[in-house]
Chain A
Amino acid sequence: MTDGAVTAGIGDQIEAEAANRAIDERAYGFWIYLMSDAIIFALLLATFAVMSHSTADGPSSHALFRLSHAFAKTMLLLASSTTFGFASVAIAAEQCRRTLAWLSVTFLFGLGFIAMEISEFHAMAVAGAGPWRSGFLSALFTLNGTYGAHVSVGLILIVVLGCEVARRGLNPFVVSRLRRLGLFWHFLDIVWIAIFSIVYLPGLI
């Protein structure tokens, strides 16, 4: 009886260790995905840098960018990254409701960013400054479109994992998925630093 209990205990421990290792391996694989994504963004940014003066007598960055708009988008992303951090704290403390609350706040900040992005690019396209106008605008729309798609996928994942937390609570599988989503979300904020430093600020000097 006691022998059985002891071996069961060791079996559980081995199983828990294997589960932890599997989670670590997934996080590692996710890092490799993030690095490959970083290469995509680096190349789109390099393409933009090459094209930034190829306006084909169309509108230039000075006419199109507004510093306050870029600053507001930066603040929304920074706020969402921070609130996702607070969600991670709540997850570690195993507080289901606080996790959901911070994930909702993160979602709203991210949604605000996407709304600003769509309104900005819609206004540009309506004013005749769409991606067809010049090499500069093609590069700008490609870069920001790719970025917006990433943020949108992040928002969908926040909703999906939020529903999973609400339905099943913070079980180890959801926690491990949320941790990788956190990596993705913080990574996107880092990419945005590169975008505002290479696209928006130099375009307004």
Chain B
Amino acid sequence: MAPQRRTNVTPKPYLIGVVLALVLTVIPFGVVASRALPPKQIFVVIGAAAIVQIVVHLRFFLHLELKPSSPNQRIALCFAVVLLMLAGGTLWIMFNLHDRTM
């Protein structure tokens, strides 16, 4: 409780977070706007920038500190697995079906 309060007192994490988020937003939008890369590489840039930006948001805006063996980490891991199973499974089944019926 106490350390969480202290991190909230200064605007510094929010300023760091917004600068990093800005950079990680401008990169994918810039790549798409300029069409400088082949489509496959653009997808990789978009995906990588999105994942890093989500981590930046969790760390600097939501103050989520994942220390090993904390209950937060276990919950986050459980939900990440459920999320991947649901979303990944949906995509897998639907694209497989699409390939078979087309």
Q: When the two chains form their complex, are residues A67 and B32 in contact, meaning their CB atoms are under 8 A apart?
A: yes
The stretch of A125-133, A151-159, A161-169, A185-193 that contacts the partner chain: A185-193
Cβ of A5: which chain B residues have Cβ within 8 Å of it?
none
Q: Is A121 an interface residue (CB 8 A)?
A: no
Q: When the two chains form their complex, are residues A71 and B29 in contact, meaning their CB atoms are under 8 A apart?
A: yes
Main secondary structure of the interface of B (DSSP, over half): helix
Residue in A38, A71, A82 whose beta carbon sits within 8 Å of that of B14 in the complex: A82
Q: When the two chains form their complex, are residues A201 and B32 in contact, meaning their CB atoms are under 8 A apart?
A: yes
A201 to B26, CA, bound (A): 12
> How many interface residues does B have (CB within 8 Å)?
43
Q: When the two chains form their complex, are residues B62 and A183 in contact, meaning their CB atoms are under 8 A apart?
A: yes
Q: Is A14 an interface residue (CB 8 A)?
A: no
A86 to B74, CA, bound (A): 30
Q: When the two chains form their complex, are residues B83 and A38 in contact, meaning their CB atoms are under 8 A apart?
A: yes
Q: When the two chains form their complex, are residues A35 and B39 in contact, meaning their CB atoms are under 8 A apart?
A: no
Main secondary structure of the interface of A (DSSP, over half): helix
Residue in A31, A86, A202 whose beta carbon sits within 8 Å of that of B43 in the complex: A202
* Chain B residues numbered 74-102 whose CB sits less than 8 Å from any CB in chain A: 75, 79, 82-83, 86-87, 90-91, 94-95, 98
When A and B form their complex, what is the total count of cross-chain residue pairs whose Cβ atoms lie within 8 Å? 104
Q: When the two chains form their complex, are residues A43 and B17 in contact, meaning their CB atoms are under 8 A apart?
A: no
Q: When the two chains form their complex, are residues A46 and B57 in contact, meaning their CB atoms are under 8 A apart?
A: no
Whether A197 contacts B47 in the complex (CB less than 8 A), given A46-B90, A50-B90, A183-B62, comes out as: yes
- Please give the residue numbers on chain A whose beta carbons come within 8 Å of chain B beta carbons, in ascending order: 20, 24, 31-32, 35, 38-39, 42-43, 45-47, 49-50, 67, 70-71, 74-75, 78, 81-82, 85-86, 88-89, 91-93, 183, 186-187, 189-190, 193-194, 197, 201-202, 204-205
* In the A-B complex, the 3 residue pairs with the closest CB atoms: A85-B14, A197-B50, A46-B90
| New A-B contacts (11) at CB < 8 Å, excluding given A46-B86, A67-B33, A85-B17 | A31-B72, A35-B75, A35-B79, A39-B79, A39-B86, A82-B18, A85-B14, A85-B18, A91-B8, A92-B5, A201-B28
